[in-house]
Amino acid sequence: MARVLGSPREVLDAADVERFVRSSLEDDEYTGKRVCVLVPDATRSCPLPMLLDGVHAALHGRVAELTFMVALGTHPAMSEAELAALFGYPPGLAAERYPGVTIRNHEWWDPGMLTSVGTISGAELAELSGGRLSDPVEVRLNRAVVESDITLVVGPVFPHEVVGFSGGNKYLFPGVAGQEVIDVSHWLGALITSAEIIGTRGTTPVRALIDRAAAKVPSELRCFSLVVESGTSNLHAITYGDTRDAWAAAADITAQVDVKYLDAPVKRVLSLVSRRYDEIWTAAKGMYKVEPVVADGGQVVLYAPHVTEVSRTHGEAIRAVGYHCRDYFVKQWDRYEDRPWGVLAHSTHLRGGGTYDPATGEERCRIEVTLATGIDARTTRDLALSYLDPAEIDVEEWSRDPETLVVPDAGEILYRLR
């Protein structure tokens, strides 16, 4: 059973949050343990330094070892300057704010940093996925997690395109995982489709898969799950418990905070993509979170002049396949099955729903997806997306159009129909 502080209508006082963090950790069995704390990168709204001050105060000098690790998934490594901004210390002076703590990235690019904790069998995967997938998948993750006695997740819960709601064991898979579970979990989400799974409460098939993988992790799993007011450092709620119970309690509150409802679909959405996202790989959240409210034949425009590249990690692989609906890949699976499944999943999530006729080669997508970014027109169109010069967009004028929804700081708040 998770401890809970807060509610959908509250904004918590920082002192109350720190007391909750400290008392939760002081009442639990951490003494003499090696502890690895998993945290989000800068793509999530989160008052991380405030929370980690409480964690550090409760655990420093009490535990045998304390590591703060950024659960990057496959996001680019954070530089020292970026880590300093995330954790709230002057560059090069982490020890002044967090003495005795090792701060590090999840080095997913280094195979030597990963270790296997077992395999999910083909029969298990078939059961978990509802028969959609049936090959065995190796479960690898960061050695620092495997070698710790306790893994403590500290991070927010938001509606999510792959798993329903983010957080909890998702900080392990994909957060500090090897590519195998990342690819399989994301492709499973793509087969279900983002529009179907995003904002779904409870244990979705993808959540069941990552929970099964997490059950193989030898360290004890603990979690502070956060309900954050998007784009701010305000906390509505914080929960503590194991990674499943704490997540579930927070997800129930997040569903009341970070989901907005419309009475009718809209023809056009202008997503003013948050500056938290500096590449299409993450800026695509401006599409994921609004797809459910767009009318058939409608348009989503991702307005992000600050975004100048598709993905520093996956750009070449994305350019090789472009952006297409799920059926485009599924109905040509022999052509695409050897491509990275996580990349294929990202492709389908951004392109949205649609159909593909292998006899005619015709792809018909439900929504027109348009980039108004720092990426040039030719590159955009080569990706099978529409292009609009961001300089031609007058946000105030678009806001006056009754058939257009303009979404500020887009990427975390989910829009759904009643």
Sequence ranges of the domains in the chain: 3-257, 262-417
H or E element in which residue 154 lies:
strand 150-156
C-alpha 161/C-alpha 271 separation (Å) is: 16
Tens digit of each residue's pLDDT, the chain (418 residues): 899 999 999 999 999 999 999 999 999 999 999 999 999 999 899 999 999 999 999 999 999 999 999 999 998 899 999 999 999 999 999 999 999 999 999 999 999 999 999 999 999 999 999 999 999 999 999 999 999 999 999 999 999 999 999 999 999 999 999 999 999 999 999 999 999 999 999 999 999 999 999 999 999 999 999 999 998 889 999 999 999 999 999 999 999 999 999 999 999 999 999 999 999 999 999 999 999 999 999 999 999 999 999 999 999 999 999 999 999 999 999 999 999 999 999 999 999 999 999 999 999 999 999 999 999 999 999 999 999 999 999 999 999 999 999 999 999 999 999 9
Pairing of strands 294-304, 266-273: parallel
Kindly report the pTM of this predicted structure.
0.95
Closest CA to 215 of 118, 131, 121: 118
* Cβ neighbour number for residue 96 with a 10 Å cutoff: 9
C-alpha 349/C-alpha 339 separation (Å) is: 16
- DSSP class of 284: T
- The Cα-based distances of 332 to 184, 264, 357 in angstroms read 18, 35, 10
> In the CATH scheme, what is the homologous superfamily, with its name and number, of domain 262-417?
LarA, C-terminal domain (3.90.226.30)
* Surface-to-core class of residue 359, CB atoms within 10 Å of its CB (0-12 exposed, 13-18 middle, 19+ buried): exposed
* Cβ neighbour number for residue 408 with a 10 Å cutoff: 14
| Helix 48-59 with 14-26: angle, nearest 10 deg | 40
Question: Architecture of domain 3-257 in CATH?
Answer: 3-Layer(aba) Sandwich (3.40)
Which residues, listed in sequence order, are joined to residue 416 by a DSSP beta bridge? 261
DSSP codes joined into one string, 198-244 = TT--S--HHHHHHHHHHTT--SEEEEEEEEE-TTSS-EEEEEEESTT
